Amino acid sequence: MNPRPLALALLLLPAFAPTTSHAARGFEVRDLATLDRVSTPTLSPDGRKLVFAKRVVDFAANKASTSLWVEDLFARDAAPPERLTPEGWNVNSPEFSRDGQTVYFLSAKSGSMQLYAIPAAGGTPKQVTDFPTDIGSYKLSPDGAQIAFNAEVFDSCGSDFNCTLKQLKEREDKKSTGVVFDRMFIRHWDAWNDGRLNRVFVAALGDGKAPLKTAKLVGKDVLADVPSKPFGDATEYTWAPDGKSLVLAARKADREEPWSTNFDLYLVNADGSGAAKNLTTANKAWDTGPVFSADGKTLYYRAMKRPGFEADRFALIAMDLASGNTREIAPKWDASADGITLSADGKAIYTTAGELGQHPLFKVSLDNGEVSQVVGDGSISAFAFAGPTLAFTRNTLQTGDQLYATSLDGAPLRAITPSAGEMLKDVGFGNFEQFNFIGWNNETVHGYVVKPWNYEAGKQYPVAFLIHGGPQGSFGNGWSYRWNPQTYAGQGYAVVMIDFHGSTGYGQAFTDAISEHWGDRPLEDLQKGWAAAQKKYAFLDGDKACALGASYGGFMVNWIAGNWQQPWKCLVSHDGVFDQRMMGYATEELWFTEWEQGGTPYVVPKKYEEFNPVNHVAKWKVPMLVIHGQLDFRIPVEQGIGAFTALQRQGVESKFLYFPDENHWVLKPQNSVLWHDTVNGWLKAHLGE
């Protein structure tokens, strides 16, 4: 289709304009907790219809629900998106049928998570599957005649879903509650292991007259979670173009799984027959995200090089399936690709990646590896293209995800959904600026400063100094629903954030620099960044500042408590590592601690003690708020309790905020509000208004 009709339509339709009303107040946590969120842009094959998900919060009920909305991008008359799924339905994972007439999605409306279909023009949803177990994710086959999906089952049950339910019921009915484990993972992220694995199944869609009740297990000999737990998704398996086989990205569920990052790609038959073929056995590091070329002769995927390192660079790889030969597509591009979406002509890959505090969308030539930026300025969180249309969600430090549409030939952007400022017309947001300075090893380090929402030239403001987690992460130009600098700017504070060595988006060597150096190189960057920010921005009141962080950021706050107390009036440590030695034994994903500390705690004990906050407790004197969730199995709750005990026993002013029902993150709306109210109260007590 000629892209000009879309370009014309986009020019004729008005975009959302920035609000011009006078701000009456700053952004605060109740705004953050209740903002509508959009995600999952999905396009019909001709690029005409855009379906997306919108999440709304019922704050009183302390829960959220998600619906699907649709917009005709080629319509000449402006009209807002229309709701596609009925009121009262909570849904996810939209996908168009191959003819564009139907939208599939997942919903638990029947009592378990099943696949449904609804006409793209609107109508009544029809249940497509009726399995006894939840469907976790799915993918339509290239011809639309089959679906592949994953479900949690016991290995002994194969394709018999009722067998899995029977075993679960038998466990529930037992009078004893003890569980015997003979290998790790005994627990992972926020759940205890009950022995079930995510397995992939295939079913024919048939005539659609009755819901599907049977399916075939594929890759029976690939004993692994596909998708991986807890954050894997449907990008970890894919259909071959002829619909006769699939490729699964899998890490074996064996004794070594908790300290292994060795995901391999397995070719399996879609009818469940035969043995799986390991396509990437030579690489002992992470291989994932398989995507076939249109002719089925080439498999594209992402691969790391170093076993055991979860933050290694994901390179783009092409494999000739006939010979098994591989090549890296863009070896000179010093970025870690987030995914793979092939262009319609099969000549390029579209992907996102971090770059100097931004998260743009890139186009990578398959021929010569040339990389060009398609959309920048902020963080692209999701994208899709079909026909002439490109749709994407983008967020920045001043707005949550906003959905845009354009054409691949560069038509003007059209905003499909409003920004945070348009939804909150009386709210002012703090302006932000990126700066840089010379940090560790005389290398350039970047940071961000966010002004208070009510900034006035010539005045000074107390400072919230935020330290990101990961540690391979970034506090760049993006929006967060957990650690959002605008919630501090909205209270009248200035915010400083440093992307210290170890942060992502500045080249792999910069990311690598933190491993085995948790307490020296990043601390040097934080100290120099703090000094550089004060020198550059006169509105920062360096005598009124608190340091706050979570996860690795919480570790750094605990480390600062014993090694850099002078500038801080208070500290906030959320889910932070307190004792590195115990962390090495109690966490679940051992590959993380063993890479970051250079080995196991019994082989290299000195490494675990070199940057161990517990060894500096006697020097703690700055008031600290400690926060931890009971369901945090990444950094177990005893780490937070230990820090609080160290503070209380020495008479250091301190509080402990405990969440019995939260994991490494605080996700429930009212818990999030309590978290922010407690943190803001702590800052006000020590910094003033």
Which phi and psi (to 5°) does residue 521 adopt? -65, -50
* Residues forming beta bridges with residue 200, ordered by sequence position: 150
Residue with tokens 């300025």: 377
Q: Output the six-digit token pair for 272.
A: 């469940």
What is the pairing mode between strands 341-342 and 348-352? antiparallel
User: CA separation (Å) from 349 to 241, 292, 342?
Assistant: 17, 12, 5
Rounded Cα distance between 337 and 197, Å, is 28
> Active site residue: 225, 401, 499, 632, which one?
632
Q: Output the six-digit token pair for 509.
A: 């060597």
Enter the DSSP assignment of 508: H
Range 327-336 contact pairs with CB under 8 angstroms and sequence separation of 24 or more: 328/369, 329/300, 329/364, 329/366, 329/369, 330/364, 330/369, 330/370, 330/371, 331/369, 332/369, 333/364, 333/369, 333/371, 334/507, 334/508, 335/362, 335/371, 335/505, 335/507, 336/312, 336/504, 336/508
Rounded Cα distance between 143 and 146, Å, is 8
Q: How far is CA 677 from the centre of its chain?
A: 25
Q: How far is CA 547 from the centre of its chain?
A: 24
CA dihedral 481, 482, 484, 487 (to 10 degrees): 100
CB 444 within 8 A of CB 78: no
DSSP letter for each residue of 130-143? --SS---EEEE-TT
Q: How many CA atoms lie within 13 A of 437 on its CB side?
A: 23
Rounded Cα distance between 242 and 219, Å, is 18
> Active site residue: 188, 359, 628, 664, which one?
664
Best CA proximity match to 296, nearest among 239, 338, 228: 239
Q: How far is CA 372 from the centre of its chain?
A: 24
User: CA separation (Å) from 503 to 45, 254, 314, 335, 476?
Assistant: 38, 31, 15, 12, 10
Rounded Cα distance between 88 and 269, Å, is 39
Q: Output the six-digit token pair for 409.
A: 């030939």
Rounded Cα distance between 136 and 149, Å, is 7
Reply yes or no on whether 628 is catalytic: no
Reply yes or no on whether 551 is catalytic: yes
Reply yes or no on whether 141 is catalytic: no
Residue with tokens 């249109």: 294
Rounded Cα distance between 98 and 608, Å, is 54
Rounded Cα distance between 593 and 601, Å, is 9
> Active site residue: 336, 379, 407, 551, which one?
551
SS3 269: strand
Enter the DSSP assignment of 257: G
DSSP letter for each residue of 584-616? HHH-S-HHHHHHHTTS-TTTSHHHHHHT-GGGG
Q: Count other Cβ atoms within 10 Å, centred on residue 346.
A: 12
- For residues 494-526, one letter each, b for 16 or more C-beta atoms within 10 angstroms of the residue's C-beta and e for the rest, the string is bbbbbbbbbbbbbbbebbbbbbbbbbbbbbbbb
Cis peptide before 94 (omega within 30 of 0): no
User: CA separation (Å) from 558 to 547, 549, 568?
Assistant: 10, 9, 13
Q: How far is CA 571 from the centre of its chain?
A: 26
Alpha-carbon Rg of the chain, whole angstroms?
Answer: 26
Q: Kindly give, in sequence order, each residue whose CB lies less than 8 Å from that of residue 288, ignoring residues fewer than 6 positions away.
A: 235, 236, 249, 263, 265, 301, 302, 303, 314
Rounded Cα distance between 423 and 31, Å, is 10
Catalytic residues: 551, 632, 664
